[in-house]
């Protein structure tokens, strides 16, 4: 089975990884602990070997207690630790309706110890700066990463939601293994980083590869989400957002039927065909969806099909959470 190299390291991952955020965070109440741990473990057993979490992925359990995403991942994978690649992140804290950013060396040192404890491990494979902190220079962050690698606490590091200038400055101090930015058919504004990734040997880990689920074709304008689900306020799930996505969803539905695959698989296969350094990390709480996503690596698109999709994408200005398509 195909594997993709993480940057220039000796770590190799399946073409599709698992974004674990949704077990705890952003989709209403957290999934109950035992079920979440079991689902993550089932993902490993079906072939996933790349698991993505973060210090700030927390949520509320049904009993009012806090769900710590890192704890779920750590518990599920602790006895197969040397068989998996675990990525987590530092530098963000959720404060009500906004994010508080802190990538100071002192805070990073505190965060790494907390993450190691919650993940029940003595090293982290890939440690991301979750968001750029405007108060801390990239060189300062990269220097701490260099020290953590030398100390054996992390194997490699990355940056989430980066731009080219920040990436190059950080990379000059301590080579960056991966970036993690939003990327999907409806969110392509970071494609300008592809040449940089190719030049520097950096993996592009794509979060929200199905535009927060809408590209799966499982939702309609009448779909209802529970209280606390971030999709309630996302533009692609509003009436106008659906209307703008209608032609794309129709094309994907027809093409998926011809390819004998699902729309979700088609969405993932599309980006896997783009570059061999792209690794999408879709998430789901449902085992059947995890299987479906994982098997997307077996769906192959020919150039004509990719060009047809891209031509349509170029003609639509999508309403999409996290930025603008144009």
Cβ of 155: how many Cβ atoms within 10 Å?
19
Percent of the chain with pLDDT over 70: 95
Q: Taking 80 as the threshold, does the pLDDT of residue 220 lie above it?
A: no
Residues 6+ apart with CB under 8 A from 293: 16, 264, 265, 268, 282, 284
**Least confident residue range of 123-137, 227-241, 259-273:** 227-241
Longest dimension (CA), the chain: 54
Q: What is the pLDDT of residue 159?
A: 98
Whether pTM > 0.85 for this model: the answer is yes
Look at residue 230 and give its three-state secondary structure. helix
Q: What is the pLDDT of residue 322?
A: 67
What's the CA gap between 58 and 35, in Å, rounded? Answer: 16
Q: What is the CATH number of domain 4-212+274-300?
A: 3.20.20.100
Q: What is the pLDDT of residue 126?
A: 98
Closest-CA residue to 53 (of 75, 34, 80): 75
Closest-CA residue to 121 (of 177, 82, 156, 178): 82
- For 35-61, how does the pLDDT look when each residue is reduced to its tens digit (9 = 90+)? 999 999 999 999 999 999 999 999 999
Confidence of residue 227 (pLDDT cuts 50, 70, 90): confident
pLDDT (average), residues 238-255: 86
Q: Taking 80 as the threshold, does the pLDDT of residue 229 lie above it?
A: no
Q: Which residue out of 57, 127, 166, 183 is catalytically annotated? A: 57
Instruction: Give CB contacts under 8 A, 24+ apart, made by 179-182.
Output: 179/203, 179/204, 179/205, 180/52, 180/87, 180/128, 180/205, 180/206, 180/207, 180/281, 181/205, 181/206, 181/207, 182/206, 182/207, 182/208, 182/322, 182/323
Q: What is the pLDDT of residue 231?
A: 76
Q: What is the pLDDT of residue 324?
A: 39
What's the CA gap between 158 and 160, in Å, rounded? Answer: 7
State yes or no: is 242 an active-site residue. Answer: no
**Least confident residue range of 32-46, 134-148, 206-220, 306-320:** 206-220
């Amino acid at each position: 089975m195909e594997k993709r190299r993480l940057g220039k390291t000796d770590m190799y991952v399946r073409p599709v990884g698992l974004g674990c955020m949704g077990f705890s965070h952003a989709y209403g109440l957290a999934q109950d602990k035992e079920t979440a741990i079991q689902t993550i473990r089932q993902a490993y057993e079906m072939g996933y070997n790349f698991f993505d979490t973060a210090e700030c992925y927390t949520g509320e359990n049904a009993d009012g207690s806090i769900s710590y995403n890192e704890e779920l991942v750590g518990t599920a994978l602790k006895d197969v630790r040397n068989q998996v690649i675990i990525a987590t992140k530092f530098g963000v804290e959720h404060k009500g309706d906004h994010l508080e950013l802190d990538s100071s060396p002192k805070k990073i040192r505190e965060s790494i110890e907390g993450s190691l404890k919650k993940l029940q491990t003595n090293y982290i494979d890939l440690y991301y700066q979750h968001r750029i902190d405007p108060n801390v220079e990239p060189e300062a962050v990269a220097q701490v990463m260099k020290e953590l690698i030398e100390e054996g606490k992390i194997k490699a590091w990355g940056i989430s939601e980066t731009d080219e200038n920040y990436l190059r400055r950080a990379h000059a101090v301590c080579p960056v293994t991966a970036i993690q930015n939003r990327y999907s058919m409806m969110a392509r504004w970071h494609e300008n980083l592809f040449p940089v990734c190719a030049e520097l040997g950096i993996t592009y880990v794509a979060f929200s590869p199905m535009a927060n689920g809408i590209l799966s074709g499982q939702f309609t304008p009448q779909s209802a989400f529970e209280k606390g689900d971030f999709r309630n306020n996302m533009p692609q799930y509003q009436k106008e957002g659906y209307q703008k996505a209608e032609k794309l969803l129709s094309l994907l539905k027809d093409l998926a039927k011809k390819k004998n695959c699902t729309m979700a698989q088609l969405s993932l296969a599309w980006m896997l065909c783009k570059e061999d350094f792209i690794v999408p990390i879709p998430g789901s709480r449902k085992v059947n969806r995890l299987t479906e996503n994982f098997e997307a690596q077996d769906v192959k698109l020919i150039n004509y099909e990719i060009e047809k999709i891209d031509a349509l994408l170029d003609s639509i200005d999508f309403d999409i959470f996290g930025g603008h398509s144009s």
